[in-house]
Amino acid sequence: MGRLHPFAPTNQAEGYQAMFRELEHVFWRRSPVFGRVVAAQCGLAGEYTGLLVIRRYHTRRGQGHRDVCLIPASAHGTNPASAVMAGFKVVGVACDAGGNVDDADLEAKATEHKDHLAALMLTYPSTHGVFEESVKRLCAIVHAHGGQVYMDGANMNGQVGLCRPADIGADVCHINLHKTFASPHGGGGPGMGPIAVASHLVEFLPGHPWCQWADVTPSARSLARPGQRQHSAYRVGLCPHDGRGRLKRATEFAILNANYIAERLQPHYPVVYRGKNGRVAHECIVDLRALKKSAGVEAEDVAKRLMDYGFHAPTMSFPIAGTLMIEPTESESRAELDRFCEAMIAIRQEIREIESGAQPREDNLLKKRAPHGGVADRHRVDPPLCA
């Protein structure tokens, strides 16, 4: 698998052609529509490629002056960087107290920049761990003002089988195949970020003169040569045709796992954002900011202390400084979720000892010492299955 050259002759790569067609069948009918292009490397490469497609679309229609990209505060951190690299000017959009995109602010910004509006980059479910209930209205506002909608599909494991970006209003979307139904968030390693586009954008997909597989659709011509092939093979083997609804089931587990963690940790760590029904999406953000005042403990200290319990820390201080963003995905068992929650609860009890004065504020199990061995041996557990 790892020895096939990206530019191998077509007759030497027939198996991979079949694999990519199978991958299209499995995924693209559940995400955006019609066109698609497999971009290797990572989701960031997908973002950049998708934005260039939008830029070419505007230029071809004689509206190359459209260079404003609206990006909500709840978007992934790579979005502004991708937009700038693609030649757009970034205009931020505020979020409300519940973590949702502020509809009024987005409409005001879209109206203000209507003559130059190129795109909205929207992460759904959002990085705040909520489903934007007004997402269709947000897309409609941008379309009404001449822009296109780029949906960051890095959180696609909160969507697949339940909804489709195309039905929501997205024109372009990428999927992180190295993450969606693959491994826990932050697992590291090689990535793959294929994008899908609506029919009116197919002709603007990039091409490569050395990559012209005869039996691959023109819309998939550009980067259809395998990059990180292992991800594609894993996906095809995982869910052939999805005849038993396994993709939908995996999505449901991803959302259930995040809500399970949120409920278990809520008595000990406040969860920053929830939907109107009190639920989170595929991830939750636990708030550690008050601990700095009460015990001198910061998110970094908790992250280091988690190593003594056998865990690599979740995403730290993003999208909110002083928090941990926990995204278990569908891959963790109930036992593993419990083990993580029990570690977090035990750490909270250690912090309470600091707050009560039982442990010194400046030199304790978390401050200056973690990660370490001897004192934490009473909490030592077997290495996690997927952490």
Q: Does 224 score more than 50 pLDDT?
A: no
Closest CA to 192 of 216, 221, 165, 226: 226
Average pLDDT, the chain: 81
Is the omega angle on the peptide bond into residue 80 within 30 degrees of 0, that is, cis?
A: no
Q: Tell me what the mean pLDDT of segment 30-57 comes to.
A: 72
Confidence of residue 32 (pLDDT cuts 50, 70, 90): very low
Confidence of residue 198 (pLDDT cuts 50, 70, 90): confident
As assigned by CATH, the class of the 10-238 domain is: alpha beta
Q: Tell me the C-alpha distance between 286 and 155, whole Å.
A: 18
Integer Rg of the chain from CA: 22
Q: Which of 67-71, 131-135, 176-180, 235-239 has the highest mean pLDDT?
A: 67-71
Q: Tell me the C-alpha distance between 121 and 104, whole Å.
A: 17
Q: Tell me what the mean pLDDT of segment 188-215 comes to.
A: 67
Q: What is the pLDDT of residue 215?
A: 41
Q: Tell me the C-alpha distance between 215 and 226, whole Å.
A: 15
- The proportion of the chain whose per-residue pLDDT surpasses 70, expressed as a percent, equals 73
Q: Does 55 score more than 90 pLDDT?
A: yes
Q: Tell me the C-alpha distance between 68 and 113, whole Å.
A: 7
Q: Tell me the C-alpha distance between 293 and 136, whole Å.
A: 41
Q: Which of 1-15, 76-90, 341-355 has the highest mean pLDDT?
A: 341-355
Q: Which residues pair with 285 in a beta bridge?
A: 325
Q: What is the pLDDT of residue 206?
A: 74
Q: Which residues pair with 95 in a beta bridge?
A: 101
Q: What is the pLDDT of residue 85?
A: 93
Q: Does 44 score more than 90 pLDDT?
A: no
Q: In this structure, are residues 165 and 173 in contact, taking their beta carbons and an 8 Å threshold?
A: yes
* pLDDT, tens digit (0-9, with 9 covering 90-100), for 230-252: 545 545 445 544 555 777 888 89
Q: What is the pLDDT of residue 35?
A: 54
Confidence of residue 383 (pLDDT cuts 50, 70, 90): very low
Confidence of residue 377 (pLDDT cuts 50, 70, 90): very low
Q: Does 222 score more than 50 pLDDT?
A: no
Of 27-31, 219-223, 225-229, the one with minimum mean pLDDT is 219-223
- pTM for this model (two decimals): 0.84
Q: What is the pLDDT of residue 90?
A: 97
Angle formed at CA 132 by CA 279 and CA 264, multiple of 5 degrees: 20
Q: What is the pLDDT of residue 240?
A: 46
* Residue with more model confidence, 225 or 50: 50
CA distances (Å), origin 35, targets 116, 176, 343, 379: 26, 17, 45, 52
**What residue ranges do the domains of the chain occupy?**
10-238, 246-379
Q: Does 207 score more than 70 pLDDT?
A: no
Q: Tell me the C-alpha distance between 315 and 323, whole Å.
A: 8
Q: Assign a CATH topology to domain 246-379.
A: Aspartate Aminotransferase, domain 1 (3.90.1150)
Q: Does 330 score more than 50 pLDDT?
A: yes
Q: What is the pLDDT of residue 384?
A: 38
Question: At which residue do the structure tokens 């490569």 appear?
Answer: 208
Q: Tell me the C-alpha distance between 148 and 118, whole Å.
A: 6
